[in-house]
Amino acid sequence: MYSVDTVRLAAAGGDEKAARRRLQEATELYRKGSDTTGSIRLFKNAILLKPTAKAYFDLAGALLATRQYDEGIKALTVAENLGYAPLANVMFRYAYGYANWPDEKDATTNRDAAVHYMELAIQMGYAHPRQFLVRSLFPNLSLGKDFDALYTSALSGGAVKDPGKSLWDAYEGQFPEIRLPLVIDRSWLRSHKREIVIDGAYEKFIPQLGAARFSREGGNTFYYIALIRKDSAYVALLYCEAAEMGDDAQDPEPLFTLVTYDPQGKIIDKMDVAGLSAFKDPFRVFSIQSNLQFRVQEFKKVYRNDPDSAGYDSSNISREDPQPPTDYRIAANGKFERTDAPLALR
C-alpha cells in the first residue's frame, strides 16, 4: 500500500466511482470525529478500489490524528508522489508528524525534519504559517535555538513580502494565550517553569535584548510568558527577564514586564510589574483581571543585619512588609492609566 511504484500501477485501473463514494463516506465519518479508526478503514478501502493523491492525503490526516506518525508519514509520501496539491499542505503535515513523533532516540532528527518541512511549507506559500507557533500543534518546535531565525527567514523568502511584519508576527505569535484573572507571586513562580527563550533577533521589540546579547557576562535570558490581550488597537504581552547563575548559586527571582504594542510592533507602554529588578529591591506581586484592571504591590525587605555588610541575600531577610498597592488599567489605546482600586480588589 505504501510502495509508490505499486500504487501508480494500481492507479491506472480500479473502480473510480466506487472509490470516490467510499472516500466521501470516510471523509464524512472523519469530520464527525466519533470514529476516526473507522474512517481510517474506509480511507484504505477507497485506496484499494482506486488509489488517488487525495485519498492518501486524507488517510495521512486521520493517521496523524490518532498518533500513528510512522504510517501517516508513509501515506504523505505517496500523496506527494501522486502530485497532491497544494503541496504546501503536504509539507505542513510532514512537519506536524515529525514534530509530534514521540521517539526519544531520534528526537533531534525528528525535530530537524519538522523544522525543514516547516520552512518548505512556508516557502511554498502555506496559508496559515502562524500555526507553526501554536504549541498545542507543535509542542517542541520552537524550543530549538535556531527556530526563530529559520521561521522569520522562511517568511521573508516566501509568500510574505514585508520582513518587518514577518518578524513582528513571529515574536507576537509565540506568547501563549492565558486565562484571566492572573496573579504572579512566589507561589506562581514555584509552579510555573520558564521554557521558551526569546531570541535576540527580537531586540526591536525588547530593547534590553540588545544589551543582553552584547554583555560580557552573557546578559540575562528573556522568556515568553503570556498574551494578555489582542485587539485592533494594541497587543498586551508579558515577558520575563532572568539571570541564570548556574552551578549551585541561588538564581535571583526574575523580573516580569508588561508591554503594549501597536499592530506594527511599536511599543505603546511598558511597566515592570512583578518579581525583582535587583536583590535589594522590593519584591513585586502582579494581579490582572479580565477587565484589564491590574495591581502592582511591593513587599519591602526588612533585614536582620546591615545589608551593606551582611549581604542582601535571603538569609539576611527577616520579613517582607507589604506596601500600599497601586492600581492601573489598560486603556483602549493601550496606555497604562492609574485608577482607584476597584471594589473587588479593596
CATH number, position 67:
1.25.40.10
Nearest by Cα to 122 from 82, 76, 169, 66: 169
Asked if residue 170 and residue 59 are part of one domain, the reply reads no
CA distances from 225 to 140, 143, 237, 259 (A): 16, 14, 8, 12
Burial class, 331, CB count within 10 angstroms (exposed 0-12 / middle 13-18 / buried 19+): middle
Which residue, of 127, 143, 174, is where some domain finishes? 174
Asked if residue 161 and residue 65 are part of one domain, the reply reads no
Asked if residue 325 and residue 191 are part of one domain, the reply reads yes
Nearest by Cα to 136 from 171, 109, 96: 96
**What is the structure's pLDDT at 15?**
92
Summarize the confidence of residues 167-173 as an average pLDDT: 85
**What is the structure's pLDDT at 210?**
64
Q: Which residue has the cell 497532491?
A: 84
Nearest by Cα to 286 from 297, 278, 302, 301: 297
**How would residue 216 be classed by pLDDT, with cut points 50, 70 and 90?**
very low
Asked if residue 291 and residue 189 are part of one domain, the reply reads yes
Dihedral pair phi/psi, residue 124, rounded to 5°: -85, 0
Asked if residue 188 and residue 166 are part of one domain, the reply reads no
Asked if residue 321 and residue 186 are part of one domain, the reply reads yes
Asked if residue 319 and residue 241 are part of one domain, the reply reads yes
pLDDT(61) > 60: yes
Q: Which residue has the cell 477507497?
A: 46
pLDDT(275) > 50: yes
Question: Tens digits of per-residue pLDDT, 330-341?
Answer: 999 999 999 976
Number of domain units in the chain: 3
Asked if residue 95 and residue 71 are part of one domain, the reply reads no
Asked if residue 119 and residue 76 are part of one domain, the reply reads no
pLDDT(164) > 70: no
Position 180: which residue type? L
**Could you tell me the maximum CA-CA distance found in the chain, to the nearest angstrom?**
89
pLDDT(345) > 70: no
Asked if residue 202 and residue 323 are part of one domain, the reply reads yes
Asked if residue 93 and residue 72 are part of one domain, the reply reads no
pLDDT(256) > 90: yes
Question: Minimum mean pLDDT among 66-80, 123-137, 324-338: which range?
Answer: 123-137
Rounded to whole angstroms, the Cα distance separating 134 from 173 reads 8
Long-range contacts of 339-342 (CB under 8 A, 24+ apart): 339/293, 341/295, 342/289, 342/293
**What is the structure's pLDDT at 311?**
66
Q: Which three cell numbers stand for residue 110?
A: 525528528
Mean pLDDT of the residues in the chain? 86
Half-sphere exposure of 213 (CA within 13 A, CB side): 12
The region, left, alpha or beta by phi > 0 then psi within -120 to 50, assigned to residue 287 is beta
Question: Tens digits of per-residue pLDDT, 131-161?
Answer: 888 888 888 787 666 787 788 888 776 544 5
Rounded to whole angstroms, the Cα distance separating 37 from 48 reads 17
**What is the structure's pLDDT at 45?**
96
Which residue, of 56, 84, 112, is where some domain finishes? 84
Nearest by Cα to 155 from 131, 123, 133, 127: 123
**What is the structure's pLDDT at 220?**
79
Give the DSSP H/E element, type plus range, for residue 294: strand 293-303
pLDDT(214) > 50: no
Question: Tens digits of per-residue pLDDT, 33-46?
Answer: 889 999 999 999 99
CA distances from 83 to 115, 249, 267 (A): 22, 57, 46
Rounded to whole angstroms, the Cα distance separating 17 from 148 reads 47
pLDDT(317) > 80: no
**What is the structure's pLDDT at 249?**
43
Q: Which residues pair with 330 in a beta bridge?
A: 336
Asked if residue 319 and residue 198 are part of one domain, the reply reads yes
* Top-confidence range, 99-103, 141-145, 167-171, 327-331: 327-331
Q: Which three cell numbers stand for residue 257?
A: 514586564
Domain extent, residue 41, equals: 1-84
Which residue, of 68, 84, 100, is where some domain finishes? 84
